[in-house]
Amino acid sequence: MNVLNSSIMAMQPDVDATITTERVRRYLQAIADMPAPSTAASAFRAPLLRRLLRDDGALDDPRLHFHADFEKTGSTVLLTGTPDTGKPLWYFAHLDTISYLVQPRVGDRYPLVPFCYHLIGDGERLAHAYRYDPASSRYCVAAGGHLVSEKGTPFFRPDSPPATLRTGDRVVLSAPYREDPATGGIVGHFDNAGAVAALAVAAPVLARAGVEAMLAFPDEEEGPPGAGSQVMGRGGTRIVNLLPTPELAIVADVQQAGGDPDADARGGVENSTRLGQGAVLAEFSSLARGAVTPPHLYAEAQQMIGRLAPFGVRIQESNNAYSSRSDDVSVLLKTPNILLLGFPGFNRHFDLGEPRANLHDVVNLSKALVYFAAIRPLYQEVRSRMLRLSA
């Protein structure tokens, strides 16, 4: 335990100097305001991530390696330490957002095929249709309008009826970043911009600490709806199939688990996950349809929450009511040693309105992602001791 505390203390000066509210806000706002439909997320967001890291001087460090199209998988990856891809520690934070495919127009609107889990209740949400332009090698806005949901069926209605959409266009919901400076409450498209920002800000600190890790930003976590886990997380599957098995993997995503964002104002909901109370550690996802953290690993993670509190890092435990699947459905095919560490958010798929989260929770997540790197060697020691005792 002294070794673990020493590792945390050694990291603290760089963590506190680098992972600031201002820097996390800058990354989060830029990423959240950039559309990222599945299978095209890296085309939209990889140049942005590169620019953010370059402007901070992070890419000048030879211990940080940026791959916009890792091994031709279409996903973005950062490697810390050596350029070698065989890393004992993996991090995942999916780069893409929910999006919709276009069908032929009916009247003044277009029926849509969800390339995601369509959770939007009846009503309208601001949206834009994006189109790839071969002449400029860029994506551009083909039309502005609204996504209309009626009895679970989505449509896109352009603001200008003459606007014509076509096969290959992609409809993406829009929620410009807004913040309440007094509370840190934020509105925007945070699934999964929050975890991407937290991991990107943490990356240079991990590199300088000498941590050998892969930081993966898959471009297709959302994918098509379906009952089986393997219909989603396909971008992550393409990555893990190329690499040796890690010792530990940490999957970061928004966690909409229990309670509601206004619980405190109404007297609270027992054991609810609340905005502004820190990052979130979950034991399992999608009622065990996704990853289930081994009990001995989860016990170490629970102790880590207490160890990090004196360092100003707040982490709340999920109440196990419901935590969504994410890239853990890909990673669990490679290793059972998965930690689910995210941030609380509500309306992540625009369920009842615009997504809501808290900036300070994302800051806590970014710091936790760095410190949790120290749990990997400890966990390997715990597993070895446990196996020896059971022999």
Per-residue pLDDT of 109-163, as tens digits, reads: 999 999 999 999 999 999 999 999 999 999 999 999 999 999 999 999 999 877 7
Residue 32, judged by CB atoms within 10 A of its CB (0-12, 13-18, 19+), counts as: buried
Mean pLDDT of 183-188: 96
Pairing of strands 279-282, 315-317: parallel
What percentage of the chain has pLDDT greater than the value 70? 93
In sequence order, the 6+-apart residues with CB closer than 8 A to the CB of 9 are none
Mean pLDDT of 322-347: 94
Res 232: pLDDT: 87
Res 271: pLDDT: 52
Q: Which residue has the tokens 């020896």?
A: 388
Q: How far apart are CA 89 and CA 180, in angstroms?
A: 35
Q: How far apart are CA 221 and CA 363, in angstroms?
A: 23
Round the average pLDDT of the chain to a whole number and report it: 91
Domains of the chain, with CATH numbers?
2-97+177-386 (3.40.630.10)
Res 231: pLDDT: 81
- Other C-beta atoms closer than 10 Å to the C-beta of 340 total 28
Q: How far apart are CA 222 and CA 200, in angstroms?
A: 20
Vertex 219: Cα angle to 115 and 235 (nearest 5): 85
Q: How far apart are CA 178 and CA 194, in angstroms?
A: 14
pLDDT of 382 > 90? The answer is: no
Q: What digits encode the pLDDT tens for the residues 40-49?
A: 999 999 999 9
Q: How far apart are CA 323 and CA 329, in angstroms?
A: 13
Res 272: pLDDT: 59
Mean pLDDT of 284-311: 94
Res 390: pLDDT: 64
pLDDT of 268 > 90? The answer is: no
Q: What digits encode the pLDDT tens for the residues 211-266?
A: 999 999 999 999 887 777 778 899 999 999 999 999 999 999 998 744 454 444 34
Q: How far is CA 265 from the centre of its chain?
A: 28
pLDDT of 51 > 70? The answer is: yes
pLDDT of 372 > 80? The answer is: yes
